[in-house]
Amino acid sequence: MRPRGQCSVKPRQSSTGHNTGTQAATAKVREQHISYLFAAEVQFLLASAVRLATNLKTQPLELPTVWTHGKHTVRYREIALRQDQADSAAVTLHQSATFLMAVAMKDAIVAAVRDPKNSPDVTVSSAYQIVRMIRNSFAHAPLAPVWSIDDDCKDRIFYVPRVIRLDTHNLTGQPFDWKHYGGPLALLRLCRFVRIKLLGDMVSRRKNLPKPAKVIHQVGSLILQQVDKIPDSARRIHPSPLSDGSIPIPGAEGYVLTTRTKNRYRTA
């Protein structure tokens, strides 16, 4: 369960007009799913921190010298983790935590909204269909998910304003790509949308937050870290500008550097 004080349940009509008090879920069931959603969000954030620390080579890889559980015992030499193995596992860990939010969202929407697929609120039906399709693909092949789109969802666009968009045209059989649905932060935003707007959770201002130890800006999977001195091992790059004058960022998964947008980054 989430510690109280951060969020509280509001089993009535939310401020956005989504009726959360007369849906299929009782207040107790709604609160339970709010806790599940919050747990999934926090796990995603922890997985993000672990992946970042692993990439920066600051993630401890300690495991017990002797580990006993039930009838089994393993020793360190059987389970020791190399850095290259951690690099690969961090990606899979982050992917699993990302898609776990979709699993939790699908269950929460089904519990809170009667017949969400046919909801007259297009935002609700879109949110449901997006998380359902992501959840199904992930469940069938969690390490290499592939889109499997139902006939009644093919060649359609599902959209939650300012949160997430999924265009299913020619998507069936395609391997997952973050550009299809907006990436992990889109699912984080959608998870909070479901928790707060659909299930009626109310969020107070976050308190007692730790201060960041480093100034880090992450763009896609590219990590930019503020340093006092450029390392001697740093290598200068000379990317060629695109036709619109923007500069592709190596390793940033389709992002380009531009002065035309508010945050100076956009996808190509």
pLDDT digits (tens, 9 = 90+) for 182-198: 999 999 999 999 999 99
Average pLDDT, integer, range 227-237:
86
Asked if the model's pLDDT at residue 224 lies above 70, the reply is yes
Asked if the model's pLDDT at residue 231 lies above 50, the reply is yes
Comparing 47 with 179, the larger pLDDT belongs to 47
Confidence at 259, pLDDT banded by 50, 70, 90: low
Average pLDDT, integer, range 64-72:
97
Comparing 262 with 16, the larger pLDDT belongs to 262
Strands (E), 70-135: 72-75
Task: Report residue 23: phi and psi, to 5°.
Answer: -90, -170
b/e per residue, 62-89, with b = 16+ CB within 10 A?
eeeeeeeeeeeeeeeeeeeeeeeebeee
Asked if the model's pLDDT at residue 17 lies above 60, the reply is no
Is the pTM for the entire model greater than 0.75?
A: yes
pLDDT of res. 63: 97
Backbone angle region of 137, left / alpha / beta, with phi > 0 → left and psi within -120 to 50 → alpha: alpha
Confidence at 18, pLDDT banded by 50, 70, 90: low
pLDDT of res. 97: 97
CB 5 within 8 A of CB 172: no
pLDDT of res. 181: 95
CB 129 within 8 A of CB 117: yes
Asked if the model's pLDDT at residue 4 lies above 80, the reply is no
- What tokens appear for 146 in the block? 């592939």
Comparing 41 with 202, the larger pLDDT belongs to 41
Asked if the model's pLDDT at residue 108 lies above 50, the reply is yes
Asked if the model's pLDDT at residue 12 lies above 50, the reply is no
Average pLDDT, integer, range 219-246:
85
